[in-house]
């Protein structure tokens, strides 16, 4: 279908995701607020300071998702901040210029509209839940799908299901559901595979440590990047130990933007600042000693060299044609030999 970077959709008024826009970078708070509204505010502020584009929470009801005996049940029992607090956090994030949204469970999808979220994230664990996808498609906002633990056919089915239910604004993220994800598990070339197979905006949900993986994902065409953020990696909890602390998150954003600047566009041409260097570094036809007017150009008095600064000469391809011609004027040693210095043959 599409190459990475060619698909796009619009998030709210005027914010393009994909195409030629910079990568949309999401600071994944998840549940790293540990049930504290104040911690959530600090994480939102850290994301804004790093110049992320969005913050994302995870919102779920443990009674609807886990048996009481499951280890996640007790953890998520204390993570719900409540509708009023989510609304306040959303307003706070928007005031700092951040998009605010969530990865909700099915019961929490109704909050997308209530909290004015501009998009919705589908977790890797929910990718095959067509009931969940159908409700998400009815919300009228773009959907971003994570693809951890999935073969390509499952991803394509999910994308097709969404399109069948009227959802065309889609992002698909390469993801490895390991925490942290080792470098050799990331399979970043799959970003290109996902772009070709789905035609969606592609990206990367980064569960690795450091900045290298996301920078490499940018080079593969990722237009959405998601990474966890924490105030302190030493905190207890399921998502702190592999997340980036605020200083690291700033470095992470800086590295992504540097990588985008390095990529440029597909045109092969000199950088503007290379013009002067070309005059200094490129070889051309040069007088290797003083040449008198009317003297023949020979192998002894001319050659292919870097010329004296301030002079230019013909390209080396013309050297054989210059040999045997007469100099039309005196040429100082080191000067480039140009068309205006060439006379006829004797």
Task: Give 93-152 pLDDT, tens digit per residue.
Answer: 999 999 999 999 999 999 999 999 999 999 999 999 999 999 999 999 999 999 999 999
83-95 vs 37-49: helix crossing angle, rounded to 10: 20
Number of H helices, E strands in the chain: 12, 12
Task: Kindly list the distances between the CA atom of residue 38 and the CA atoms of 26, 88, 127, 218, in Å, as whole numbers in the listed order.
Answer: 20, 11, 32, 33
- Cis peptide bond upstream of 180, omega within 30: yes
Write down the mean pLDDT value for the chain.
95
pLDDT the model gives residue 266: 87
Q: Taken in order 137, 141, 142, 144, is the CA torsion positive or negative?
A: negative
Asked whether 307 and 336 are in contact (CB, 8 A), the reply is yes
Topology of 274-341 in CATH? Type Iii Antifreeze Protein Isoform Hplc 12 (3.90.1210)
In Å, how far from its chain's centre is CA 252? Answer: 11
Closest by CA to 172, choosing from 224, 131, 219, 237, is: 224
Q: Which residues are 72's β-sheet partners?
A: none
Q: What is the CATH number that goes with domain 8-263?
A: 3.20.20.70
Span 180-198, pLDDT tens digits: 999 999 999 999 999 999 9
Q: Report the pLDDT value the prediction gives residue 74, as an integer from 0 to 100.
A: 86
170-175 and 201-206 beta bridge pairing? parallel
Going from N- to C-terminal start, the domains of the chain cover 8-263, 274-341
Inform me whether the pLDDT recorded for 79 exceeds 90. yes
pLDDT for residue 8 is more than 80? yes
Task: Sort 332 into a burial class: Cβ within 10 Å, 0-12 / 13-18 / 19+.
Answer: exposed
Task: Please state, in angstroms and rounded to a whole number, the distance separating the CA atoms of residues 309 and 319.
Answer: 20
Q: Using only the alpha carbons of the chain, give its radius of gyration.
A: 30
Provide the CB-side half-sphere exposure for 141 (13 A, CA). 26
Reported residue count of the chain is 346
pLDDT tens per residue, range 211-245: 999 999 999 999 999 999 999 999 998 999 999 99
């Amino acid at each position: 279908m599409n190459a990475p970077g060619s698909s796009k959709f619009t998030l709210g008024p005027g914010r393009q995701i994909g195409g030629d826009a910079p990568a949309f970078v999401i600071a994944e708070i998840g549940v790293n607020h540990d049930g504290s509204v104040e911690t959530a505010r600090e994480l939102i502020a850290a994301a804004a300071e790093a110049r992320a584009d969005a913050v994302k929470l995870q919102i779920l009801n443990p009674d609807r998702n886990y048996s009481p005996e499951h280890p996640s049940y007790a953890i998520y029992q204390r993570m719900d901040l409540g509708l009023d607090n989510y609304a306040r956090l959303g307003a706070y994030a928007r005031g700092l210029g951040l998009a605010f949204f969530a990865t909700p469970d099915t019961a929490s999808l109704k909050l997308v509209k209530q909290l004015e979220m501009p998009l919705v994230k589908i977790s890797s664990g929910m990718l095959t839940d067509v009931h969940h996808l159908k409700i998400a498609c009815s919300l009228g906002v773009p959907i971003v799908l994570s693809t951890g633990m999935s073969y390509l056919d499952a991803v394509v089915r999910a994308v097709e299901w969404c399109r069948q239910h009227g959802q065309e604004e889609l992002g698909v993220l390469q993801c490895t559901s390991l925490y942290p994800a080792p470098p050799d598990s990331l399979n970043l070339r799959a970003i290109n595979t996902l772009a070709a197979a789905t035609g969606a905006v592609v990206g990367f949900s980064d569960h690795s440590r450091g900045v290298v993986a996301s920078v490499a994902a940018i080079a593969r065409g990722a237009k959405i990047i998601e990474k966890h953020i924490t105030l302190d990696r030493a905190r207890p909890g399921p998502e702190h130990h592999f997340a980036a602390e605020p200083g690291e998150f700033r470095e992470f954003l800086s590295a992504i933007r540097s990588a985008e600047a390095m990529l440029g566009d597909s045109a092969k041409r000199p950088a503007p600042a290379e013009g002067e260097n070309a005059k200094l570094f490129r070889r051309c036809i040069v007088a290797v000693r003083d040449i008198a007017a009317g003297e023949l150009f020979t192998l002894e008095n001319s050659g292919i060299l870097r010329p004296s600064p301030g002079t230019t000469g013909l390209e080396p391809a013309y050297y054989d044609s210059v040999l045997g011609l007469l100099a039309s004027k005196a040429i100082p040693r080191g000067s480039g030999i140009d068309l205006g210095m060439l006379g006829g043959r004797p």
